[in-house]
Amino acid sequence: MATRTIRPELAAPWIRFADTLARMQGPSTEIVLHDLTNPARSVVYVVNGDVTDRKVGQGVRHLVPEMLACSEGDFIGPWWFRYRTKLIRATTELIRDTSGDIIGALCVNEDVTDQEELFHSLQNRLPGLTMTILKKDGDTAGLMKPETKVESNDLQSKPDSVRKTVFRLICETVAQEGYVKAKTNRDVRRRLVRELQDRDVFLLKGSIEELARLLGLSKVTIYSDLDALRRTYP
């Protein structure tokens, strides 16, 4: 297991729970604790990190679409994704402070590749069985995908705490690149835009405007960057 300095609201109850859950589930289950007040380096505690190679100091991966797909409560999942050759079953519990703001997340990633192989074996005997096939690294199921068209009202209905978390991620990512460089250097700005796009930040209505505001640029500039990136990385 790996750890770094953790805020008290996360440390006492959630690390103990992560350790207990890891002992119950065994080495094929990875437990990742996020501090979402620092989303660019949100991972603060990891048990069994070799399942998807999660390490302390890394940032969020799938949490933005997870939070947007969450309609009720703070428990998200299960959903599945392909990591290299492994099939991963993932769930997430959002963690709030006493004010109701999202401050963290506990992510559970279980390697279910063995169960997948068993299913295929049963499928040969029982042809009526079906399942969604995730063939390549990065494929997902059971989670809203970036290309999914979502009406703006759906996103506007999300709690303020979700928006705050996503906007905090934007601020952190911009700060890493440097505000001046991101504003004046097109290559730096597009690298920044691509990183936010890869994290599905732009699924949230208002995120492009927020990024433009932080950089002191027009939203047209950010849209132009996105168009250029789509042509370069279709």
Do both 52 and 158 map to the same domain?
no
Do both 70 and 98 map to the same domain?
yes
Q: Which of 141, 168, 198 is the last residue of a domain?
A: 141
Report the predicted TM-score, pTM, of the whole model to 2 decimal places.
0.68
Do both 114 and 187 map to the same domain?
no
Do both 80 and 178 map to the same domain?
no
Tens of pLDDT, residue by residue over 9-21, are: 788 789 999 999 9
**33 is a domain residue:** yes
Q: CA angle, 79 as apex, 74 and 84 as ends, to 5°?
A: 130
CA pair distance 146, 184, nearest whole angstrom: 28
Look at residue 142 and tell me whether its pLDDT is greater than 70.
no
Supply the pLDDT for residue 133: 57
**201 is a domain residue:** yes
Q: Which of 98, 117, 141 is the last residue of a domain?
A: 141
Q: How many domains does the chain have?
A: 2
The CATH number covering residue 125 comes to 3.30.450.20
Supply the pLDDT for residue 69: 59
- The better pLDDT of the pair 62, 39 is held by 39
Supply the pLDDT for residue 30: 97
CA pair distance 234, 231, nearest whole angstrom: 6
By C-alpha distance, which of 195, 200, 199, 203 is closest to 177? 195
Tens of pLDDT, residue by residue over 59-80, are: 876 666 666 655 557 888 888 8
Task: Extract the tokens encoding 179.
Answer: 């505000």
Do both 88 and 193 map to the same domain?
no
Q: Which of 102, 121, 141 is the last residue of a domain?
A: 141
Do both 108 and 174 map to the same domain?
no
**174 is a domain residue:** yes
Do both 135 and 156 map to the same domain?
no
- The better pLDDT of the pair 230, 71 is held by 230
Domain of residue 27 covers 2-141
Q: CB–CB of 122/93 below 8 Å?
A: no
